[in-house]
């Protein structure tokens, strides 16, 4: 297996817990950070701007993506300009469609032409990748987030899709493909193997990086000991089998 040190794919930490974000940003293997309204709601964030300003004050030197939250394209555009003004390391997350399924490509193209750095999010099909890559083609550095983990949740292997997305985006050197919503640590190596530029991962998943390269016999023994210790701590008892004397 490839070591973490030799990976080409960049790892972005995905979360909305400020101390956790700061901790992850301090690690040399974390190249950037992302968040979204769902993660922020779970973290109890109520003041979007104040939270973002706290994050940016603490992490000024790595790319950070903040998402618009309107469902109206005109309001999305206003929010995009506001968010992009917060710091030079900000990328604005724009959903690939609104909740009615209307494509956001016209807005994406307009923002790209105006120099807004974007992270277009929630893509799941190659047709979406083609459309978004074209819309971003004349803009600054940008990301395209394909939710490979959610694709896998439907029973479809995302590896072929992500590999083809890399090929589609190859003519656009200012665009980087993000493997979003990974479900297991192995996805980091999957993303690396297909040439994906970035993978996002939550802190819980990133904690498993210490397991990379671990001896499987030792890991098996640790697992056996864990089950035994937990059974002892739980005080489980079963009546012993009656033995007949020989």
CA 121 and chain centroid, separation: 10
Name beta bridge partners: 11.
30, 199
- Within 13 A of 198's CA, how many CA atoms are on the CB side? 26
* pLDDT exceeds cutoff 60 at 1: no
Mean pLDDT of the chain: 96
Residue 213 CB neighbours (<10 A): 9
Distances in whole angstroms, Cα of residue 44 to Cα of each of 21, 36, 48, 50, 71: 15, 13, 11, 13, 22
* pLDDT exceeds cutoff 70 at 127: yes
Residues 31 and 62: beta-carbon distance below 8 Å? yes
Domains by residue range for the chain, with CATH: 4-234 (3.20.20.70)
Distances in whole angstroms, Cα of residue 192 to Cα of each of 2, 146, 150, 177, 234: 9, 15, 18, 11, 42
Predicted TM-score (pTM) of the model is 0.93
Q: How confident is the model at residue 235 (pLDDT cuts 50, 70, 90)?
A: very high
Residue 128 CB neighbours (<10 A): 19
148-170 pLDDT, tens digit each = 999 999 999 999 999 999 999 99
Please give the pLDDT value at position 4: 74
Please give the pLDDT value at position 2: 61
Residues 196 and 164: beta-carbon distance below 8 Å? no
Crossing angle of the two packed helices 73-84 and 105-113, in degrees rounded to 10: 30
* pLDDT exceeds cutoff 60 at 116: yes
């Amino acid at each position: 297996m490839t070591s973490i040190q030799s990976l080409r794919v960049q790892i972005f930490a995905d979360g909305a817990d400020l101390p956790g974000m700061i901790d992850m940003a301090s690690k040399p293997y974390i190249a950037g950070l992302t968040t979204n309204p769902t993660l922020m709601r779970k973290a109890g964030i109520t003041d979007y701007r104040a939270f973002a300003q706290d994050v940016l004050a603490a992490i000024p030197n790595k790319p950070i993506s903040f998402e618009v939250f309107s469902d109206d394209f005109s309001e999305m555009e206003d929010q995009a300009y506001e968010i992009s003004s917060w710091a030079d390391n900000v990328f604005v997350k724009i959903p690939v469609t609104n909740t009615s399924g209307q494509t956001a490509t016209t807005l994406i193209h307009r923002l790209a032409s105006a120099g807004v750095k974007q992270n277009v999010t929630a893509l799941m099909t190659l047709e979406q990748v083609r459309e978004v890559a074209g819309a971003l083609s004349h803009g600054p550095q940008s990301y395209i987030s394909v939710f490979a983990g959610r694709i896998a949740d439907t029973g479809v292997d995302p590896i072929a899709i992500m590999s083809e997305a890399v090929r589609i985006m190859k003519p656009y050197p200012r665009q980087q493909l993000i493997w979003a919503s990974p479900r297991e640590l192995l996805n980091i190596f999957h993303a690396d193997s297909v040439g994906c530029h970035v993978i996002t991962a939550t802190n819980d998943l990133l904690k498993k990086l210490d397991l990379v390269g671990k001896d499987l016999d030792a890991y098996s023994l640790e697992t056996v000991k864990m089950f035994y210790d937990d059974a002892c701590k739980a005080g489980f008892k079963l009546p012993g089998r009656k033995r007949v004397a020989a």
